[in-house]
Amino acid sequence: MLDRWRAQAEWFDARLAERLDAIGRDCPDNLREAIKYSLLAPGKRLRPVLCLMACEAVGGAREEALASSIALEMMHCYSLIHDDLPAMDDDDLRRGRPTCHVQFDEATAILAGDALQPLAFQTLLESQLPADAICESSLVLARAVGAEGMVGGQMDDLLAEKREPSALSSDQNAEWLRAIHRRKTGALIQASVELGGIAGGASPGIRHALVEYGRAIGISFQIVDDLLDVESTCENTGKMTGKDSARGKLTYPSLFGIEASREQARAWIADAVNSIACLGNRNEPLVGLAHYILERSC
């Protein structure tokens, strides 16, 4: 599984660098460098790889999903740049390197994130996908990252730090936590497989199966991320660990405990695998990727 993932990620990284090289001369050099520094930083490329694999799983070629996968990574990168800012998560380390605002400055980091958002949609709009697929993909991406998706989830995540857990019942805290992560992390992961299905020409029924798969692995990914913050190290994850508990953030381990959280992650992965049984043998890469999400250590 890891070999297949690395091959897809390496192919994607080469195309991503080519896309950045095509940015015109009117882009200031320092802005260009900040975008490249953040976007080309070593990473798992989970979202673009999911998009490419989903496209292939429905019978398409990965080239058809290239623009969608680049747009996804640009949106993800913008969110990381902004999340790391002092006004939000205040992180100094990302993917084993200084965060964008540390490497450059806060204003440049904000503008780099600002630039990546329209660049993502520009990449989709300039793609070779059919016009209806471009429109649908743009709508899926906008919903995933907007006020009811990733941005809304980040807002509630910040608000959760200021609220005493005792202010709500256990059930209310659990519901709020799931709502945060369904949007903050899960929405863009879910969009990744849906965009791959759109690019590959999937039928409505297959697209629904992909959406269910994406929703399940998105939740599991965040549970594992919460566990890694407790159990892993900075060297393994490439970012500071232990910060969630230090800041009193609402997380799966803090609410359910480590073992119960791990069991929830396993259950979501089982749901993800079951949801794409309709793909037959073509689901194997996506099944392998789901199991990797559960077992990852970084």
3-state secondary structure of 97: strand
What range defines the domain where residue 277 resides? 2-295
**Residue 276 pLDDT more than 70?**
yes
Whichever domain contains 118, its CATH number is: 1.10.600.10
**pLDDT, position 241:** 53
Alpha-helical runs (H) found in the chain: 2-21, 29-39, 46-57, 66-83, 100-103, 106-125, 131-145, 150-162, 170-184, 186-199, 204-231, 234-237, 243-246, 252-256, 258-275, 284-295
pLDDT value at residue 97: 93
Tens-digit pLDDT profile for residues 229-251 = 888 655 554 545 556 655 667 89
Q: What is the mean pLDDT of residues 109-136?
A: 98
CA-derived radius of gyration, the chain: 18
Q: Could you report the per-residue pLDDT of 176-200, keeping only the tens digit for each?
A: 899 999 999 999 999 999 999 999 9
Question: What's the structural domain count of the chain?
Answer: 1
Q: Which residues pair with 252 in a beta bridge?
A: none
Instruction: Give the confidence band of 290 by pLDDT, cuts at 50, 70, 90.
Output: very high
81 vs 244, higher pLDDT: 81
Q: Is the pLDDT of residue 297 over 80?
A: no
Burial class (CB in 10 A: 0-12, 13-18, 19+), 289: buried
CB atoms within 10 A of CB 245: 14
Reported as a single tens digit per residue, the pLDDT across 30-75 is: 999 999 999 999 989 999 999 999 999 999 999 999 999 999 999 9
pLDDT in the model for residue 3: 82
| pLDDT given for residue 296 in this prediction | 82
3-state secondary structure of 185: coil
Section 105-116 average pLDDT? 98
* pLDDT at 193 (0 to 100): 98
